[in-house]
Amino acid sequence: MQVLQNPAYQNRRMYQMHKFFLVVFVFLPRSHIGSTVAAEPSLTLIYNELSIIARITNAIALRAGSIRKDLKPRDVITELLKTHSKSFEELIEYDPKKLHDDLQSVFYASSDVFDNPIEIGKRIKEIKDINLYLGGALKAELPINIADLMQTFQDENFKNRLTICNKATVETIRNFYSVMNNEQDLQDGEQKTIAIQTNAVDVKNCLNSIKDYEKIVATTRKVTDKIGNILFFNGALNYFNGNIHKIKIFDQSIIYIKKLLRNVGTNWKKPQLSEKILKISPLLETISDHENKPTPNLSAGFPGDDDLAKISEDVKSPWFQKEISKGKSTKDLEEALEPFGEFAKKLGDLRKSWAEFDEKVDKDHPSINLITESLKNIEDFSILDTGESFLKNAAATHQNTWKSFETFDTSKFSINASRAFLAISTIATSAKEIREWCTGIVGSYDFITLHHVLDEIGGLQLSSTNLDENKKAIGMVENFQLLNSFFGELETLSTSQNNFYYHHSLLTQIDLGKTMNDAVTIMKSSSLHKKLHSTNYDTNKLEQILTFLQHLLYFTDKNAGEKAMDFFKIFEKMKKNYLELEKFVYNLGAKNSELIVNFKNSTTLSQTFGRGLRVFRDISRAYQLKKELLESTKYAPKVDEWIYERNPHEHLRDFWNDTDRPQEIQKLIDRLENLEKTIKKFVSKDFETLREALNAAAKVTGIDDFRDGFQDVADQLSKPSTLKHEELQFALENSRQLADLDLDFSSHTGDLMAASMSFDNIRVEFNTMFGLAAKNEKTVKNAWLIVVLISICVFILLVIGALLIYGLTERGRNQYKNLYLFYIGKPEDFEKRWRYSLFMDRKDGKNALMDATREIHAINVKKEVKRGAYINVFTGLFSFYVVFEKLQIFFPAEFGNTPLHLSTKRGYAEIVEVLIKNGADRSLLNYQNRTPEQMIPENYQETHPEKVEKYKKIEAIYKKYRNKKFRKRVPQVFPSSSFHIYTEDKADIDLTNDFMDKFMSIVTPTLIPATTHVIVKTDSDGVLEIDGFEYLTWIMNGVIIVKESWMTDCLKNPKLIEKDSKYLVEKVRFKDVEYDTVTQWSKAMAKGEMPYLFGVYVCIVMKEQKNVFSIASIVNAQGGTMCEGFPLKENYNIGSHPYLHAHLGPLFVITDGSTDLTLFKNDSDKMYTFFTEDEFVHFLLKREINIDTKLDPIQATKESDD
């Protein structure tokens, strides 16, 4: 259980330290750096002067707010710390002292329970090992039909599936790699390079097999599991022979555990700590994410970490004395702002303790994880009261059963059997090594790119006489190094294959079927086999008790206790510093100051001027770091590729993949240099003249949507990768140098202009403060009204102009269109965008909104709904992730609820409110035919006492919004650049090749988990003819099926790539029956409707199961469950039905008719529904729905809903 592991910690800490030194370097006067360094840039000089006003004005605003009692200290502090306010507030609400004391009491209590922890730990482990073998042997059912089993095991096709790739093909690849990398004698080198072309089909098949290894290996499970049982039982015979004394007196060991458990019950009280500690992790993760840093408001004038400490010197500075106070005494202002020296010191203490706490979390997270895991285990242990009784019976059962146990005479096995056991065991190890190798490889390489490189090599004209020319031509193929690296990895595969085949060859020297059949017969006659069948106590339950005691023993570890106590002590210190600072900020206004209070609109002026100056600071720093900006365009090609292919931020990927990126950076630097020249004349001018520097800066355009771009790059490159250290290091250091830059200057133009316009007001207030306002001026009656009206008109015109200009940009047009749709949009406008929700809302194969709801991550829920994720999605739809990545088995509780149902049921009040206010349907029925509000349990005060407060909050939320309706958020546009189009093999080959060349970036040569469109060949009426499960799998998983004519039209007019909706396949024909449900399926999957097979349990009874994986992927994707064996109705609830098929039994049997199932077909309870494969296809394509409308329909399984 990874509780407090957060890779952002180290990144953030390194970044903050780097940022500190960088800021010091950029803004430290050059005299401090070296006399030979050039003079400060004009941008820096002007910023240094204006920042004095920003800091003093902000200090006045904070002091005034505190005096007026309308300042929230917590908001000020979180802004200064640049941490997410709500998460930090939740973290501070924890009582680290109480957590420390409660956890310490757990350590004390555990020490009381166990008088000799080390010896007890060894004894428990020994008992656990014996119980493990007992449990394993009980489950290791010895198979029948051994001869057939061994024949399959020795079958060549079966061996190929276990070794993934053809051995000869691997050898071809290894020879090619050796020649290209000069690893062997270059004799016949030309032929070895050409061999990669002549064997291209085999090589690609090998790549596909590696990529799909899980599916291939899954077909061997039944055989390998049975053979594994034989091997395990053989091992158990040897184990029990060697431990016969321990086995015979194992009842005494159980009694020993019983005594320990009684001691626990007497001396130990169950804690309730794990949930509290568990929740600290997501809070720290949110706080650490720079995307969650607050917008500067109350502290806008303090962009630097040391700005608060400068205030006292700012007031005394020669520039302020000359330009602002005009020689007047600043003593009163100095006294009024004197507390900020102490403020800075206390803030420094908090920053230091926060960093110490942050470091402690990062350093000791493994120990904290173990503590939390152990706490969770002991808190979830529910059989403390009944455990003694169980152990007493188990001991008696074991004594009666095993007292006459006899050792097994291993000499009964033939020599051939012993050899076979050894060979098969080694083969199993090699097969496991191959699987583990595939797992690492699949996660490290892009197989689409590998295929592309092979295609490029296949098109080369290679020489049969000139090896150097061949190597040069192959080496120049784009991305060849990626393929070369991949081929190098196959050495491990080759070694495991050689070991595998060598030991397999040994088995050909014996009659394996007869040898293993004789061995299994002997095993079944053994005393062990007989005793196992008489052992009727639950070894799993004993394992649960032993695990509980081990977790409890962990709390006797003094080293772990010290680390945990230190963690909470540092947490307590950090909180103490925070509370002291909070109290200090609150008391800033304890002493009234007319000088401060009379400074009108200090908060507004501080925010306006401070925000503008922050932008100017970024511009100034960007000029200072122009060399580093240029260097950002010189990363190694592999690093650039890593960024634009794998960075999680789409806008960054697009910018980094733009071939004009170096030119864009150069243009930015040119604009900064022009600005530097323009504002040089303003240096050392009076305060009012300096506003012209801001006006000039407002005309500088930066890089659109590049606010935290380099921070995102630094975060990405800080994580483990396959990049070489020397390539990575330069890019990592450079991105960290630039991490604090916000280069999206254009989006802050308004801040610069507003800051410029605030100069006059700031001057007026300081003139008033220092008695510099002109006296005896002639006042024009009601002139203020005219000024106000003119100002309002000018402001309105400026706003209208800015809105019109913004509307001319692509971003502006999209935003205005979204606003239009939000307020005036028709349902069909939303439907056009929801068509792509399956792909837009999916992250890592899961629906991001539902995932955030399950993880109780309110911030992520808010993010997802605000970006327009479809809010009424039902749990359970995983689409192509299931088809192409791996098969998963889901239980009914995983399906049939919307996020609002789920969050209501589990008591997530904050998430409930977010969902309701963003348009979640409160009338929608779930699989129990309940509305979300009905998910609040009746009599929850009695049934869920631990959640009473949560449910009360949720009830209040529903009551508050009962008569209010909320609009749904507008979904984002799904750009054609995010399409992943696959063209089926039956499409015109020339047309397909032209289409792939034209739209190379969005067309894939193979199906991938992210596939969005499949182009198919239809008849003249646009009907898709299908003959099996391949097309059906695409339809059932929500892929958009389009006609071949789309390719033709797009080649004529590329803009039609955006008009895929005009080319949708709507009808499908199977076995002469037409169905018009293709788009219905696409819509259902896109919007995450109730899974079609929810509550269905599917079993296949067929001799040939060639479509088993297609059926399983469809069933699992549609909310059903594949049964491992034939489902007996006794294990299910009589009278149940699938939710969407109330007229059918829940147990679906797909049969070829070769097995007599008359007994089940005549079942009086109608629990079974029978199909042939063709009938099942018709059933799916028909998409007939008959909802079970009863409240709380009977569920098929007898498992708890939770």
Domains and CATH numbers, the chain: 8-91+283-363+578-769 (no CATH), 121-267+400-552 (no CATH), 820-960 (1.25.40.20), 973-1089 (3.40.50.10190), 1092-1202 (3.40.50.10190)
The per-residue pLDDT for 6 is 44
Q: Are 688 and 660 in contact (CB under 8 A)?
A: no
Q: Phi/psi zone of residue 5: left (φ > 0), alpha (ψ -120 to 50 degrees), beta?
A: beta
Instruction: For residue 138, count other CB atoms closer than 10 A to its CB.
Output: 16
Q: Distance (Å, rounded) from C-alpha 1014 to C-alpha 1026?
A: 14
| Helix axes of 339-380 and 558-586: crossing angle, nearest 10 degrees | 140
Could you give the C-alpha distances from 389 to 249, 250, 253, 394, 921, in angstroms and in order? 19, 17, 15, 9, 50
Tell me the average pLDDT across 871-889.
51
* Strand bridging mode 1073-1075 / 1067-1070: antiparallel
Could you give the C-alpha distances from 350 to 4, 283, 295, 580, 757, in angstroms and in order? 22, 18, 21, 9, 36
The per-residue pLDDT for 331 is 93
pLDDT at 556 over 80: yes
Collapse the DSSP code of 934 into the 3-class scheme (helix H, G, I; strand E, B; otherwise coil) and give the result. Answer: helix
Residue reference for tokens 């969407």: 1140
Q: Distance (Å, rounded) from C-alpha 656 to C-alpha 647?
A: 10
More confident residue, 747 or 7: 747
The tens digit of pLDDT for each residue in 1046-1055 reads 999 999 999 9
The per-residue pLDDT for 1005 is 81
Could you give the C-alpha distances from 662 to 86, 454, 630, 709, 736, in angstroms and in order? 39, 31, 8, 15, 19
The per-residue pLDDT for 181 is 84
* CB within 8 Å of 44: residues ≥ 6 apart: 26, 27, 620, 624
Q: Sorting pLDDT into bands at 50, 70 and 90, what band is 746?
A: confident
Nearest residue to 626 (alpha-carbon basis) of 656, 683, 665, 660 = 665
pLDDT at 882 over 60: no
Could you give the C-alpha distances from 200 to 339, 422, 446, 1023, in angstroms and in order? 77, 37, 18, 35
Q: Distance (Å, rounded) from C-alpha 620 to C-alpha 693?
A: 11
Say what percent of the chain tops pLDDT 70. 90
Q: Distance (Å, rounded) from C-alpha 696 to C-alpha 45?
A: 15
The per-residue pLDDT for 2 is 39
The tens digit of pLDDT for each residue in 599-613 reads 999 999 999 999 999
The per-residue pLDDT for 895 is 64
The per-residue pLDDT for 1044 is 93
The tens digit of pLDDT for each residue in 650-672 reads 778 888 888 888 999 999 999 99
Q: Distance (Å, rounded) from C-alpha 475 to C-alpha 1124?
A: 50
Q: Distance (Å, rounded) from C-alpha 850 to C-alpha 837?
A: 13
Could you give the C-alpha distances from 708 to 19, 47, 735, in angstroms and in order? 14, 22, 11
The per-residue pLDDT for 563 is 82
The least confident of 237-246, 585-594, 691-700 is: 237-246
Q: Are 1152 and 1102 in contact (CB under 8 A)?
A: yes
CA 107, 111, 114, 119 torsion: positive or negative?
positive
Q: Distance (Å, rounded) from C-alpha 807 to C-alpha 805?
A: 5
Length of the chain: 1202
Say what percent of the chain tops pLDDT 90. 28
CA atoms within 13 A on the CB side of 207: 23
CA atoms within 13 A on the CB side of 1138: 27
* DSSP letter (8 states) at residue 747: G
The tens digit of pLDDT for each residue in 1050-1078 reads 999 999 999 998 999 999 999 989 999 99
What mean pLDDT value characterizes the chain?
A: 84
Q: Distance (Å, rounded) from C-alpha 1151 to C-alpha 1103?
A: 9
Q: Distance (Å, rounded) from C-alpha 854 to C-alpha 876?
A: 12
pLDDT at 883 over 50: no
Tell me the average pLDDT across 65-70.
88
CA atoms within 13 A on the CB side of 321: 10
CA 206, 212, 215, 220 torsion: positive or negative?
positive
Give the pTM: 0.50
The least confident of 20-34, 79-93, 529-543, 1012-1026 is: 20-34
Q: What does the CA dihedral 52, 54, 57, 59 come to, rounded to 10 degrees? A: -80
Residue reference for tokens 């922890």: 117
Tell me the average pLDDT across 1031-1043.
89
Q: Distance (Å, rounded) from C-alpha 294 to C-alpha 942?
A: 41
Cα Dmax for the chain: 122
pLDDT at 1 over 80: no
* CB within 8 Å of 972: residues ≥ 6 apart: 833, 840, 867, 868
The phi and psi torsions of 1118 (rounded to 5 degrees) equal: -100, 20
* DSSP letter (8 states) at residue 1141: B
Q: How many helices (H) and strands (E) does the chain have?
A: 58, 13
Q: Sorting pLDDT into bands at 50, 70 and 90, what band is 535?
A: confident
The tens digit of pLDDT for each residue in 334-352 reads 999 999 999 999 999 999 9
Could you give the C-alpha distances from 1125 to 222, 1007, 1115, in angstroms and in order? 12, 31, 16
Q: Distance (Å, rounded) from C-alpha 1050 to C-alpha 1060?
A: 10
Nearest residue to 303 (alpha-carbon basis) of 687, 640, 637, 610 = 610
DSSP characters for 667-687?
A: HHHHHHHHHHHHHGGGTT--T
Q: Distance (Å, rounded) from C-alpha 846 to C-alpha 851?
A: 7
Tell me the average pLDDT across 513-518.
90
| Helix axes of 8-27 and 602-624: crossing angle, nearest 10 degrees | 90
* CB within 8 Å of 704: residues ≥ 6 apart: 744, 746, 747, 811
pLDDT at 60 over 90: yes
pLDDT at 749 over 60: yes
The per-residue pLDDT for 579 is 92
The tens digit of pLDDT for each residue in 148-186 reads 999 988 888 888 889 989 999 999 999 999 888 877 666
| Helix axes of 858-866 and 909-917: crossing angle, nearest 10 degrees | 10
Nearest residue to 609 (alpha-carbon basis) of 754, 767, 763 = 754
The tens digit of pLDDT for each residue in 805-854 reads 655 665 555 555 555 555 556 767 777 788 888 888 887 678 889 888 88
Q: Sorting pLDDT into bands at 50, 70 and 90, what band is 878?
A: very low
The per-residue pLDDT for 1189 is 82
Tell me the average pLDDT across 1030-1050.
90
* CB within 8 Å of 140: residues ≥ 6 apart: 228, 229, 230, 232, 233, 236
Q: Sorting pLDDT into bands at 50, 70 and 90, what band is 25?
A: very low
The least confident of 358-367, 502-511, 1015-1024 is: 358-367
The per-residue pLDDT for 806 is 56
The least confident of 60-74, 125-139, 355-369 is: 355-369
Collapse the DSSP code of 145 into the 3-class scheme (helix H, G, I; strand E, B; otherwise coil) and give the result. Answer: coil
